[in-house]
Structure 1
């Protein structure tokens, strides 16, 4: 893996938008960056209108001057292509290059991500501006890395998208008969007799076809990746030794399969924005970090964006208390990030994100936030020698983008179902037990893990099913929860007991899905409670671990089972356990680590990271960590 050229040790800095400020501010910016220990800044992410004010006319003077200033100040540049936000002249000249929503509404200019990645005019303009930047800056001494686009994830349902979707489907299925079988086209008279009849999933009178929806998300991921590749290849030709990346963003609206994308970047970069201000912010930060490390195949990755002074929630921005910015940064660094980057350097005076926190707040450098920024910047160089040691993990959680896509608000499900919350719950309970877990693709290499957990992995392809069979037969311990393997890669139900066709592996058949009303719990004998969902099982050789203690259909029926298979064993959890019940199960499975609820402990080779999120002093081994503090020490012999 390549790393930003000219950056020693850990990366520290963030998005810098000098075009938003008079040049009289720039010298002060560089001086403050040096004071804070900043060694890398991202420039140009949203600068298309400043770089190309009119079609084919470029203004690089301001960018030349700031690149030179930064280089003279010893600060490297992650130079972005600005294609996430086309300028007004482009959208006015090419209205067909604006994205369309499922209801046919065409977006208008006035925000970010106002583009249709499938539109020929947009692709041409994207490559033109990327080519101009490559020609001018590929040899600039400040350039450390190329940053293509920003947070890919914009979906369009336009005629351009439909045309490209049909071509993608022809490549995938080859014949209409194969497509009609995969999409179960006999239902509701959806059998297609000509490729031109197929549209992007749009707003319909009632429910849409789940197989069509899932394929459209796969197609969109591939189309966005193709746009990235086109720019990457152009930049690479101009400067073969400059690493190239794009920043992954995480959310249910993002149709990007990061497992596929990760092999196309020189380093995995990730933007982490937890959505709640309570301890969920720490939980999600750890989850994001473990995902990014896993997408990177265990190699170092980079936290490209986070918020310095606030946690952004649906109810507004909540300030981070003293030390919390450093602790959040250390969560990521401890779990494999080779640095801590932020959005943004200086808080903007106007615009849609004028209240987004920054390293330099509106009140300036004489603030608590900036003092904490300086303190963290001074501490990071001492951690450089720990950065190449691998994070140790022998437990993996399956992460299935397709299960998230297929269950995200779609009505053709046995019951309302939050795939991400089920994944996050498993990660949360393991973290509270001190266990650092990797994530793994259902079809990926699982051989390094002793335990693999599949939280409600709804979509399970034939290849993934065989992968889990191989893992377990070879001596692995598989733990799967309800609705795992309910449908195959075409969203068609696995017949004969669900479970991805793995009823012999689990030693049970699922006979019925039994949703529960919100607020209703179902007790398990000596095991705690289940809520919202359970299943009726038929035993086919498995042993019962615990039974339901009530319910008209479930009383005294098996709830959690285990089945020996080959050299390993397969556990099945037929209900949505509450946290305490999962904790009891993981205790039985002896899944333990050196950390605890509120104290992260991450072992990396010779080093141990300890992050104390509590308000009391803690001692881990010989290391004492104050309340709200963190430490990195050599591991005990």
Structure 2
């Protein structure tokens, strides 16, 4: 297992800081900001995210004077810099003078100026100005000794359906398919007489146009993700040409539906993401998102670029984080791979749509508030940890497979139920594993699998030939594969495999799917074990025919009662399981618990429900994060023969660990005195 260096060796500690928007405030406030940042241990300031018009008020005029002053003050105060390019929101003068920079909606209508990420990613004008401002920032500030990282744009998002994108899409398709004949074959366009006879006939999948060809809708999502990635790469390359030693990132958004973040991560020096869970979120779902971002670069630690210190403003109900939850969720991120704890935002805005979004400094401007105190105490605690957790890896032997293109194909599929909740389905299986207390990796269709004993691939509808062969080889060499209903259905062009599901996995699974039944939301079937145990299931039920697999459990109702619901097939040195339905969580938790025990995969500590134990390992140390996700005190029994040091409480503990409500401990095993 390899370990990682700090993101930037200049700052070998957990970064604590976040978004600072001084352009929204008069210079008289800046000196007070410096004083308060020192008090809050706010060490890394992200500056310039939405400052394009302030930096470039007119096409031929730039104003860096205000940013020079801010950087001088931050530098004099000992702050580190995360400098952003401002290209997420173009100035009004640009939209007015060059309307081609504005994106078009799903009907092909050019939208008006406003909001953010409101540009066409394929507009030559937008790309020109974006590279230009990035180059000027690098030339002016690239040699600053306290510059830690470049932050390109912000939360890349909205797809575009304009005529520029339509023409670029045709070129993208020519490169992908080579000929119109090949495209027609892959898209199955003889359906409904939709065969294309000229490239010019192909249009984006407009809301009032062609959406019945799923090869088209799938490819357009690929194209738009690639187009926005090209924008990132253009700015990245401009920055790298001048500052080759400064790492470059942008902030992702968890399971954002429009971008294939696995492809994006290859082009980033480090993954950064913005974590905004619902106030009452299941901690397993937050952990899933952190594990996903750690997995994007195959285990490399990531940056927690944004979280709210207190409340959000865009959810239906924006409850406050209860006392202690900010600290708990910050360490939850670090436990799952974060090398930073950062916030949006430093000072709460006085106007516009984020004036009620939480901040370190509230509208009162005071430092004696609960939120400021919690941030300050957390910052001091992180400083004491130093480089303890940097470069650590998560020693996972079990993985869950997630795939954006599979998600897109499932979304486009019409039937057997509409809509289908792929992300929720994957999270359900992850959650069942999380409750076993073992570390989990999120992997992708191109991930290497050798280090894992168990891989779970829920609803693997779209299956690439490469992944099918990699899974076959891995199982044959001793791996345990679990996949589910609605898997192995289509190829990368959304064409159903000849012979039906599970397609190329038929031999590995030892079965084929004859029919799939769709259940209404209120309907339930049952999974029946030979010993009489019964569990609820619903949504989809596959009627499978066995070809070597054995039935471990069967359906309990309807005309397919007695047919296999859960199967096992020995294959080479390994085995493959097929769960032919959407099973209740209780079955998943019990079954996965037994399966992990068979593989000798056990939690680092046995903890009560609601307490999570997460191991991270460096080359010389094994650390255990112990997180109490409940509002009540909890006690975790410790092995009698061991002594532990709690790096957060700065004390040794034996026999039992007592955690306050929302409490956290960071344990390291030591020889007993």
Give runs of ≥4 in structure 1 deviating > 6 Å: none
Matches within 5 A, 1:105-254: 105-204=109-208, 207-252=211-256, 254=257
Matched, 1:576 2:582: yes
Change in Cα spacing, 1:312 to 1:579, as seen in structure 2 (3 Å) is farther
Aligned to 1:482: 485
Secondary structure of 1:132's aligned partner:
helix
Query: Cα deviations across residues 203-243 of structure 1 (Å, max 9, x unaligned)?
Result: 13684321111111111111111111111111111111111
Contact 2:478 2:574 in 1 (8 A): yes
Change in Cα spacing, 1:479 to 1:527, as seen in structure 2 (3 Å) is farther
In structure 2, what is the Cα distance between the partners aligned to 1:350 and 1:251? 29
In structure 2, what is the Cα distance between the partners aligned to 1:459 and 1:513? 16
Matched, 1:380 2:396: no
Contact 1:211 1:491 in 2 (8 A): yes
Matches within 5 A, 1:1-400: 3-4=7-8, 6-204=10-208, 207-252=211-256, 254-274=257-277, 276-280=278-282, 282-310=283-311, 314-364=315-365, 365-383=367-385, 384-400=387-403
Question: 608, 615, 618: which one pairs with 2:624?
Answer: 608
In structure 2, what is the Cα distance between the partners aligned to 1:48 and 1:620? 54
In structure 2, what is the Cα distance between the partners aligned to 1:315 and 1:557? 44
Secondary structure of 1:227's aligned partner:
helix
Matched, 1:539 2:546: yes
Secondary structure of 1:153's aligned partner:
coil
Secondary structure of 2:81's aligned partner:
strand
Contact 1:7 1:39 in 2 (8 A): no
Question: 424, 432, 436: which one pairs with 1:433?
Answer: 436
In structure 2, what is the Cα distance between the partners aligned to 1:542 and 1:410? 28
Contact 2:551 2:565 in 1 (8 A): yes
In structure 2, what is the Cα distance between the partners aligned to 1:491 and 1:229? 29
Matched, 1:529 2:524: no
Deviation of 1:466 after TM superposition, in Å, equals 0.9
What TM-score do you get using the length of structure 2 for normalisation?
0.91
In structure 1, what is the Cα distance between the partners aligned to 2:628 and 2:322? 14
Aligned to 2:668: 634
Contact 2:613 2:625 in 1 (8 A): yes
Deviation of 1:27 after TM superposition, in Å, equals 1.2
Change in Cα spacing, 1:311 to 1:478, as seen in structure 2 (3 Å) is farther
In structure 1, what is the Cα distance between the partners aligned to 2:203 and 2:281? 43
What TM-score do you get using the length of structure 1 for normalisation?
0.96
In structure 2, what is the Cα distance between the partners aligned to 1:316 and 1:130? 38
Deviates more, 1:44-53 or 1:136-145: 136-145
In structure 2, what is the Cα distance between the partners aligned to 1:636 and 1:532? 49
Deviation of 1:388 after TM superposition, in Å, equals 2.3
In structure 1, what is the Cα distance between the partners aligned to 2:534 and 2:382? 44
Query: Cα deviations across residues 277-336 of structure 1 (Å, max 9, x unaligned)?
Result: 3242x2332111101111121122111111111256741311110110111111110111
Contact 1:26 1:66 in 2 (8 A): yes
In structure 1, what is the Cα distance between the partners aligned to 2:611 and 2:670? 18
Deviation of 1:416 after TM superposition, in Å, equals 2.7
Change in Cα spacing, 1:296 to 1:10, as seen in structure 2 (3 Å) is same
Aligned to 2:572: 566
Deviates more, 1:572-581 or 1:103-112: 103-112
In structure 1, what is the Cα distance between the partners aligned to 2:254 and 2:626? 26
Deviation of 1:477 after TM superposition, in Å, equals 0.2
Change in Cα spacing, 1:98 to 1:435, as seen in structure 2 (3 Å) is same
Aligned to 1:473: 476
Change in Cα spacing, 1:321 to 1:435, as seen in structure 2 (3 Å) is same
**Structure 2 unaligned residues grouped into runs of 5+:** 639-653
Secondary structure of 1:116's aligned partner:
coil
Deviation of 1:636 after TM superposition, in Å, equals 6.5
Deviates more, 1:492-501 or 1:346-355: 492-501
Aligned to 1:463: 466
Aligned to 2:644: none
Aligned to 1:598: 610
Contact 2:568 2:577 in 1 (8 A): yes
**Structure 1 unaligned residues grouped into runs of 5+:** none
Change in Cα spacing, 1:318 to 1:346, as seen in structure 2 (3 Å) is same
In structure 1, what is the Cα distance between the partners aligned to 2:241 and 2:27? 32
Change in Cα spacing, 1:431 to 1:454, as seen in structure 2 (3 Å) is same
Question: 551, 556, 580: which one pairs with 2:558?
Answer: 551
In structure 2, what is the Cα distance between the partners aligned to 1:84 and 1:95? 16
Contact 2:608 2:636 in 1 (8 A): no
Over aligned residue pairs, what C-alpha RMSD do you find? 1.7
In structure 2, what is the Cα distance between the partners aligned to 1:431 and 1:529? 21
Contact 1:100 1:106 in 2 (8 A): yes
Contact 1:397 1:452 in 2 (8 A): yes
In structure 1, what is the Cα distance between the partners aligned to 2:608 and 2:537? 24
Query: Cα deviations across residues 381-433 of structure 1 (Å, max 9, x unaligned)?
Result: 23321222211111000011111112236535554310000111111111122
Deviation of 1:487 after TM superposition, in Å, equals 1.1
Deviation of 1:580 after TM superposition, in Å, equals 0.7
Contact 1:71 1:141 in 2 (8 A): no
Aligned to 2:511: 508
Secondary structure of 1:609's aligned partner:
strand
In structure 2, what is the Cα distance between the partners aligned to 1:431 and 1:636? 26
Query: Cα deviations across residues 34-72 of structure 1 (Å, max 9, x unaligned)?
Result: 111121111111100100001121010110001111111
Change in Cα spacing, 1:72 to 1:488, as seen in structure 2 (3 Å) is same
Secondary structure of 1:635's aligned partner:
strand
Question: 494, 505, 512: which one pairs with 1:491?
Answer: 494
Contact 1:534 1:575 in 2 (8 A): yes
Deviates more, 1:491-500 or 1:54-63: 491-500
Query: Cα deviations across residues 85-110 of structure 1 (Å, max 9, x unaligned)?
Result: 00100001111211111112221112
Contact 2:6 2:12 in 1 (8 A): no
Deviates more, 1:99-108 or 1:447-456: 99-108
In structure 2, what is the Cα distance between the partners aligned to 1:446 and 1:56? 53
